[in-house]
Structures are given as structure tokens and as C-alpha cells.
A = this chain, B = another copy of it.
Amino acid sequence: MNSSPVTAGLFANWLDDVKAAFLEFIGTTTFLLLAFGGIQAASPEIETSSGAGTSNVIHNMYIALSMGFSLLIAVWIFYRASGGVFNPNISLALFLVGIIGPLRFVLYCIAQLVGGIVAAALVLALTPGTLQSVTFLAPGVNPAQGVFIEMFITAALVLAVLMMAAEKHAVTPFAPVGIGLTLFACQLWAVYYTGAAMNVARAFGPAVVTGFPHGTHWVYWVGDGLGSLLGAALYIILKQNRYWLLTPGQ
């Protein structure tokens, strides 16, 4: 009994935290393996084999579908186990609003970042051609624009997780569907402009595997981090306005 009470509190459930983080690693790898695989299948190299060019619009729609529905089903599978977070920026928001503790926060981030690297490496090994899932800014998008786009879409995803999954109501068990479709809707906007990472693990994994080919990788750490803060702030505003009293019967 030489541990202080604070330490006892932080590490009281350390085994559960480790187990949950291990499942987060498997879940994040599942999500990003399918998603990065879909991005690979949308690549221009595949295009040329048919003799017809694909428009960027089709390319982006395919990636949005792949990202959104890979997340949807991966969260559905792991929702009642680790929570199906798969994203350090959501982990941060959950920590900030007090839903997870500091140990689980740190372990989840590590598991998620490693999952992103493993998924990228697997797709590189299993498919021909160069890895297509590295995020970068489109021509004409400056880093400030990139930061704010990433901030807004990450905040939308964070707010979706908090309002759909963390808040308890009749539709809470169906949150994986809403979370996946939120990623889908955000991708439809931003996959062209920034790659729509909304998740540093999603940006970091392919960047590690390809040796950080773009100098703007920091955008995903700053922008997505600001998105965690904005999303958590909006959630706190909703809670402090006691949102559930404003439209009775809804």
C-alpha cells in the first residue's frame, strides 16, 4: 500500500485500460486497413488500366464511401468493447470532458497511432503500387485554410461522438451509424482539399510508412487538435444550456 491515493485512483483499473487499449489497436487497424485499402483502389494507377480517366469527383466519392463505411462498421463491432474510438482527437475530447481518465487517454492514443502505422504498412505490402493514403493540401489551399478546414470537420466528428454516443438516449446504441455517416459527410467536403484526416492517427500512419513526403504534415496535428477543443467546447455549451429541456418531447 505504498501508492498514494491519487495514483491508486489513476491506475485502479489499469488492467482494464490496457485490455481496452489492445482492443483499440485491433479496431483502429481494422478501420484503417479497410479504409486505406479503399483509397488504394481509388488511385489513378488503377484508372489507367481501363483506358478511361476518372474524374476527381468520382475519386473523392469513392474515398468518402470507403472511409465513412469502414469507420461505421468498425465502430459497430468494437462499440461495446473499447468504445470504438480509433482516433486520438476523439480520445482527447473524451479526456477533456471527463469521460475517460488520463491513463486510458494515453494508452488509447498510443494504440491508435500504432494501429494507423500497421494498417498503412499492411496495405503497402498487400497491394501493388505506391501508397495512396498520405494526406496533403490540394493546390491552392494554404496551410491556414488547411488548419481551419481540419478544425471544423474534426469538431463536427467530435461533437457527433459526444452527442450520439456519450449522451445516453434511445438512439445511443445506434451511434456507430451516425458516427460513420458523419465521417462520410465531412469527407465529401474535405477529402479533395486536405485529405480529410480528422484524426492524427489516420494522417500519421501513412506519413510514417512513406517517410513524411509532405512538409505540411503538421497541419493535421494542429488543425485536428484545435478540432478536439472546438468540439469539446460546443458540447460543453450544449450541456450548460441544458439542451434537453429546450424542446420538450423531442
Contact = CB atoms under 8 A, between A and B. Distances in A.
Contact of A60 (B41, B153, B159, B178): B41
Which of A49, A73, A139 has the most chain B CB within a 10 Å cutoff? Answer: A73
Count class of interface residues, chain A: 35 or more
A163 interface: yes
A5 interface: no
B58 A159 contact: no
A66 B182 CA distance: 11
B193 A41 contact: yes
Copies of the polypeptide in the assembly:
4
Contacts of A42: 57
Contact of A41 (B66, B69, B189, B243): B189
Given A55-B53, A83-B250, A126-B145, A34 B189 contact: yes
A246 B16 contact: yes
Interface in A168-206: 168-171, 173-174, 176-178, 181-182, 184-186, 188-193
Given A26-B237, A57-B59, A61-B61, 9 more contacts: A34-B189, A37-B188, A58-B61, A64-B65, A79-B250, A80-B243, A126-B148, A168-B249, A171-B174
